[in-house]
Amino acid sequence: MSKELAKTYDPKGLEDRLYQKWLDKGYFHATVNPNKKPFTIMMPPPNVTGQLHMGHALDNTMQDILCRFKRMEGYEVLWQPGTDHAAIATEVKVTNMLKEQGIDKDEIGREKFLEHCWEWKKEYGGRINSQLRKIGSSADWERERFTMDEGCSKAVEEVFCRLYEKGWIYKGSRIINWCPVCQTSISDAEVEYQEQAGHFWHINYPVVGEEGRFVEIATTRPETLLGDTAVAVNPEDERYTDIVGKMLKLPLTDREIPVIADAYVDKEFGTGCVKITPAHDPNDFEVGKRHNLEEINILNDDGTMNNKCGKYAGMDRYEARKAMVEDLEKLGLLVKVVDHVHNVGTHDRCKTTVEPMIKPQWFVKMADMAAAASEAEKNGEVNFIPDRFSKIYQNWLNNIHDWCISRQLWWGHRIPAYTCDDCGEITVVRGGMPEKCPKCGSTHLTQDPDTLDTWFSSALWPFSTLGWPEKTPEFDYFYPTDVLVTGYDIIFFWVIRMVFSALEQTKQVPFHHVLIHGLVRDSQGRKMSKSLGNGIDPLEVIDKYGADALRLTLMTGNAPGNDMRFYWERVEASRNFANKVWNASRFIMMNLEKAEVPSKMPKDKLTLADKWILSKVNTLATEVTDNMDRYELGIAVQKVYDFIWEEFCDWYIEMVKPRLYSETDETKGAALWTLKTVLGNALKLLHPFMPFITEEIYCTLNPDEDSIMIAAWPKETEDFAYAEDEAAVEMMKEAVRSIRGVRTSMNVPPSKKASVFVVTEDAAVQETFKNGAVFFGTLAGASEVHVQADKAGIADDAVSAVIPQATIYIPFAELVDLEKEIARLTKEEERLTKEIARSNGMLGNPNFINKAPEAKVQAEKEKLANYQQMMEQVQTRLEQLKK
């Protein structure tokens, strides 16, 4: 073996080199291969504005693990990467960049602004994908896509036109979520609800024609009063039966509004009277439709009051609120103000409070597509892991509204709808602006200025990236995809939209499994965020400890759907494990250099220990494969970790050392063959989780092989089936652990050797211990081992340890130098006597008890209890020794 492992494991020295090797060899690239089964994962496209954070690191590590596992199993694996154009985020970034240069977006116009966006994308858009490479992502970068590239854009246009032609896309004025800062509509899924301290303002609305009679309403948004077109009461509320149909004087205006009866009103809540503002509340909008109420919008797009607001026109919405409340108070119409904590909708991007507003927008009818998506999960075509997330999926589909898909942005897919300037006819067509209006023949047409919701295009990601709507070989071979890996916070945003879009356009589900993971939280369990300043940069972790250590940390204890906490100590533990694997591998390779290793399994030379470890790694392969197939990645890696650290390094390598160091042992070659074979299989099982270190060790161990990435995944084999031998060694391990326990409890130094007697009447057990006697010298500090059926010849003072199949005895005199131990314990007894006297003296002193801090007094009491317990043990031990 010409190549050697470096003395110390240094991830910095090897990770970039190995990643480049994989790229150069084309190992990540997938081709249409009829001789192999395909396995496909679509990478959730990170925002083109994005930078790698812990959520990305976890999500992509999990995908990479599955891809590497399936490649080794012999699948043709496509892991499709790409980025999302992230309409709002990118537009904000580019607008701010231009502002810093003194350029106004509106002044330069749409086309020029889009040129800047494309330049920005070219310069910064690939950043996150280069960062994903640092964690070892084995995505097919040759197939990298972008949601606004030519192919994806064609797919978006095709879907829009198909849905429009089917009557499922329409333009209408409905209540939407409006962000006054970004000045665009946003979807329900982009509204975050935050608990905020606010108020209920109770206001009297005078009843027209009945001097001194009022209807009291309570509102959290008094400024919307100017858009009220009715007050509603419950038809069964006897308190208000007589005023239904009467008119009220709307305060601060010269308008009158009716009192209407509607079952929407909860008569138990508040005053039982509800102001109805159809243009600024989704529930009021529905009430308004039922009662043919006028819809009065009182806000400008920037959140200021519009010209319908009289003296308040031009004021910011909150400024107007303050002024109106003051005016209501002056008029004697403000009854009271009550503190109230309520959920306020904010835009998840800019954190601005969202305004429900009526706007003409483009919508998708959802009823039929939602029903199809619901059925796909119920009949098992789409499976959630863990299953509990299927309830959230179904609940969202059952309560879905028509989807507002238009955005008042420039960066994005522009809506392919063209309005005739002369007759107003709207034409939706593929391939750009038509030459003339199909209705009146006019050549004066204007394209709709709006762009599509980013989620409209990313909903097509599983098939638009494979060449759809064209019937490509890739689409036929790799679609539907196998599994989607995503966080639970994105189910509504994306997963549901992909399912209904795929079913509608391709008549197939986009993926069979949805593997949901939790969030990576900080060590205190808090969500990582910029505002808290508790985010941890994965690249910083990689720089310090290596990508493998980060990946192992993210997968240790990971369970589908559950959040995990990030601790630096766990990263250090992962790095320690990498060092353990590295050093054990170096030790094995150094020994492989010194002797001839059989090329085939030397069955007749295998010892009990060899058969035990082969049997262990055999079972491990099956168990880990089963866990991986069930997406139990955290359980799988824990089993591999425990096997390598404990069974292989701490037990087997120690068991075989005497054979390795012997020049005459006939089984030395078998030990070396077993070491090399088991290490190779263990590295393969570890590879998906820690790709870099396993690649470096494996290729050094097997210089004739190109890469562990394309090595075959270990499978259980009859050749390694040694169940009886495995059971025998497990019994001896138990005996060794018992002996170690005795020695530890008696403070016996490791260098002190002692005889071991194994007493059992079972002939088979006797035979096992005779065959394995050699282990006890290395592993249990035994000078010699006697296996017998009874206690004959064993000293009465021998220390014993019982295991299920036998009793172990060790002569006391061989463990302890009697005179030295009595002297040591006597000295310890004297020390403890002084400490107990000192402690009792302090605790008996009233000055100390009364004046010292309570924590110090408590600490002294704990010290005394500890000394007394130690004294009891020392005196008991002295009595035993003196006998």
| pLDDT of 397 higher than 80 | yes
551 compared with 818, residue with greater pLDDT:
551
Q: Are the CB atoms for 280 and 224 separated by under 8 Å?
A: yes
Comparing CA positions, the residue from 35, 24, 28 lying closest to residue 67 is 28
| Mean predicted lDDT score pLDDT of the chain | 92
- What's the Cα-to-Cα distance from 877 to each of 745, 753, 809, rounded to whole Å? 11, 21, 19
Rounded to whole angstroms, how far apart are CA atoms 768 and 803?
14
| pLDDT of 1 higher than 60 | no
Q: Are the CB atoms for 463 and 154 separated by under 8 Å?
A: no
pLDDT in tens, 305-350: 999 999 999 999 999 999 999 999 999 999 999 988 878 888 877 7
Q: Are the CB atoms for 363 and 170 separated by under 8 Å?
A: yes
Rounded to whole angstroms, how far apart are CA atoms 648 and 654?
9
H helix or E strand, kind and range, residue 864: helix 854-882
Helix (H, G, I), strand (E, B) or coil at 798: coil
Q: Are the CB atoms for 39 and 75 separated by under 8 Å?
A: yes
Q: Which of 1-10, 37-46, 283-292, 491-500 has the lowest mean pLDDT?
A: 1-10
- Whole-prediction pTM value? 0.85
Rounded to whole angstroms, how far apart are CA atoms 342 and 220?
9
Q: How many of the other CB atoms lie within 10 Å of CB of 361?
A: 21
| pLDDT of 2 higher than 60 | no
Q: How many of the other CB atoms lie within 10 Å of CB of 673?
A: 22
Rounded to whole angstroms, how far apart are CA atoms 714 and 333?
80
Mean per-residue pLDDT for 270-285?
A: 92
What is the pLDDT at residue 28? 98
pLDDT in tens, 662-713: 988 999 999 999 999 999 999 999 999 999 999 999 999 999 999 999 999 9
User: What are the structure tokens assigned to 370, written together?
Assistant: 């939602």
Comparing CA positions, the residue from 806, 770, 795 lying closest to residue 785 is 770
What is the pLDDT at residue 791? 87
- What's the Cα-to-Cα distance from 801 to each of 387, 588, 768, 804, rounded to whole Å? 47, 34, 18, 10
pLDDT in tens, 82-115: 999 999 889 989 999 999 999 999 899 999 999 9
What is the pLDDT at residue 495? 94
Measured in whole angstroms, how far is the alpha carbon of residue 219 from the centre of its chain?
40
| pLDDT of 158 higher than 50 | yes
User: What are the structure tokens assigned to 290, written together?
Assistant: 């039922």
What is the pLDDT at residue 174? 87
Mean per-residue pLDDT for 153-160?
A: 98
pLDDT in tens, 430-488: 999 999 999 999 999 999 999 999 999 999 999 999 999 999 999 999 999 999 999 98
**Banded pLDDT at 779 (limits 50, 70, 90):** confident
Pairing of strands 273-276, 191-206: unpaired
pLDDT in tens, 494-512: 899 999 999 999 999 999 9
Q: Are the CB atoms for 177 and 356 separated by under 8 Å?
A: yes
Mean per-residue pLDDT for 401-415?
A: 94
Q: How many of the other CB atoms lie within 10 Å of CB of 635?
A: 18
The terminus-to-terminus CA distance of the chain in angstroms comes to 60
Q: Give pairs for 20-28: CB < 8 Å, separation 24+.
A: 21/707, 22/138, 22/707, 22/709, 23/141, 25/706, 25/707, 26/142, 27/71, 27/138, 27/707, 27/709, 27/710, 28/79, 28/138, 28/139, 28/140, 28/141, 28/142
What is the pLDDT at residue 98? 94
Q: State the alpha helices, DSSP H only, in 702-799.
A: 723-745, 763-771, 773-780
Rounded to whole angstroms, how far apart are CA atoms 792 and 801?
17
Packing angle of the helix pair 568-594, 538-545 (nearest 10 deg): 40
Please report the domains of the chain, with CATH numbers, ordered by start residue: 184-356 (3.90.740.10), 569-721 (1.10.730.10), 726-816 (3.30.2320), 819-882 (1.10.287)
Percentage of the chain with pLDDT > 90?
69
What is the pLDDT at residue 350? 79
Rounded to whole angstroms, how far apart are CA atoms 652 and 677?
13
Q: Strands, E, within 334-461: which ranges?
A: 334-347, 355-364, 383-385, 403-404, 406-407, 417-420, 426-428, 445-447, 451-452
Comparing CA positions, the residue from 776, 731, 740, 741 lying closest to residue 757 is 776
Helix (H, G, I), strand (E, B) or coil at 486: strand
- What's the Cα-to-Cα distance from 75 to each of 21, 69, 498, 683, rounded to whole Å? 21, 9, 25, 19
pLDDT in tens, 564-620: 999 999 999 999 999 999 999 999 999 999 888 999 999 999 999 999 999 999 999
Comparing CA positions, the residue from 703, 732, 735, 725 lying closest to residue 618 is 725
* Identity at 251, one-letter amino acid code: P
* Identity at 811, one-letter amino acid code: P
> 530 a known binding residue?
yes
Rounded to whole angstroms, how far apart are CA atoms 279 and 282?
8
